[in-house]
Amino acid sequence: MAGDHSPTVGLVLAGGLARRMSGGDKARIRIGRATILQRVLACLTPHCRHIIINANGDPARFVDTGLPVVADSVPDFAGPLAGILAGLDWVATNAPACEWLVSVPGDCPFLPRNLVTRLHDARIGARTPLACAKSGEQTHPVVGLWPVSLREDLRRALVGEELRKIDLWTARHGVATAAWPDAPVDPFFNVNTPEDAARAEEIAKQFPDA
């Protein structure tokens, strides 16, 4: 964890319904030499004290990873904020020495290897409690750094206010941005459709180190 600023837990958000992929787990799609999940874990593992997966349904489908699987505590697929809250709750109970959670989608095969460090640098530099990623002109609120200290505030927003948009909640507290170029490879390209998977395969062939 050299170069990082505080013990951090990694959260892979794999709780979506994948309707445009006819169901199934997008994280299991193979892109080049590895699945998306394997690529995501390669990004997080050097910088995170623990890694957990947020997924609804049968957790046994991720048993091969050896990682804890946490389901949303807010019902009816309330979106990524519900997965982030589930991750924050896991950290508070199981890793109380860690003050930070970094969340990434389980469908992004080209995440930058310096993601965790850059997010910490951004929130320290801006003196904000939150940070998220940006590539080109596009922000990626789901790729974010979250303090465990705000989990009860997030719970109130999700349950009491039924708030679902990440931007609305993070704006209340202040969020820094860590920016990457979106060319030649957008590090936050995500696989939502079979066409996206084919495109990601082509990117992996052209840029095998991505």
pLDDT tens string 138-150? 999 999 999 999 9
The reply to whether 42 falls in a domain is yes
In this structure, is residue 24 part of a structural domain?
yes
Q: What is the pLDDT of residues 119-163, one digit of tens each?
A: 999 999 999 999 999 999 999 999 999 999 999 999 999 999 999
What residue numbers bound the domain in which 24 lies? 8-204
Is 210 among the domain residues? no
Q: Is the pLDDT score of 19 beyond 60? A: no
Q: Is residue 88 part of a domain?
A: yes
Q: In the β-sheet with 8-13, what is the strand arrangement from edge to edge?
A: 69-70, 50-54, 8-13, 100-105, 138-147, 130-135, 175-180
| Residue 1 included in any domain | no
What is the separation of C-alpha 118 from the centre of its chain, rounded to a whole number of angstroms?
14
What is the number of structural domains in the chain? Answer: 1
The string of pLDDT tens digits covering residues 165-205 is: 999 999 999 999 999 999 999 999 999 999 999 999 999 99
Both structure tokens of 56:
């609804």
DSSP per-residue string spanning 54-115:
E--S-GGGGGGGT--EE--SSTTT--HHHHHHHHHHHHHHH-TT--EEEEEETT-TT--TTH
DSSP 8-state symbol, 197 = H
Per the domain annotation, does 29 fall within a domain? yes
Mean pLDDT of the residues in the chain: 92
pTM of the model: 0.93
Residue 193 lies in a domain: yes
- Asked, for residue 3, whether it belongs to a domain, the answer is no
Angstrom distances, CA of residue 62 to CA of 13, 14, 197: 13, 10, 21
Strand-pair partners of 132: 144, 177
CATH number at residue 153: 3.90.550.10
Q: Which two tokens stand for residue 136?
A: 């080109």
DSSP reduced 3-state for 2: coil
pLDDT band at 24 (very low <50, low <70, confident <90, very high): low
Q: Is the peptide bond before 184 cis (omega within 30 degrees of 0)?
A: yes
